Structure 1
């Protein structure tokens, strides 16, 4: 990249010994990473099948933000029919756990949960536990 930055001529800057081999090797590594990522996401979808409704980008965002329930909220409507948001609150002292106490529909209706659902642990397990409650 430094060489290409210094020489604005594309032909000269790309005709360098070993460049093609390096790019082919990098592409092979990238394909291996993509396959591994797809397998990882498939295991998450197998644990919680509603993740099949999400794109890889959305699922990665959810998994990356799983400790922050507020960041996961925008994806709820993609996983669950007519659930727009959850009413969540922090409970406890310094450990500050999150719990869901109700849900809002796409029409703005609100329903209290008979029992609050603690939002802890892996998100694919927490969502599944919440559905069984």
Structure 2
């Protein structure tokens, strides 16, 4: 569900930056996601005020100025706050404080880099990169 949310938000950001709103069908096709799962995911993002939906009959999705400044970390937290606990501390119990395992330190570095990357990546800058075809949403 996290991957679906990230891909959907990036697609919506890209289209918002182009002045367009997108409907559920279009998003599902673009990111290759089942509509039912996508619909549930988008409802969560709307409830968390990360995503906007037009109130007309078409239910088109877009991002306002505040939402465009949302980090990927905020999207991940909105969908699965426990994901961050999974990449939390990896602890092996040392025999003493003087013998802390190097794996613990390596894991902390990896986790910190991953969290920083997600916090630094904003939807608007990622949307601009998509518009420049610097990467694609489909696998």
TM-score over 0.5 for the alignment?
no
Higher helix share: 2
Q: TM-score, normalised by structure 2?
A: 0.27
Larger Rg: 1 or 2? 1
Higher strand share: 1
Higher relative contact order (CA 8 A, sep 6+): 2
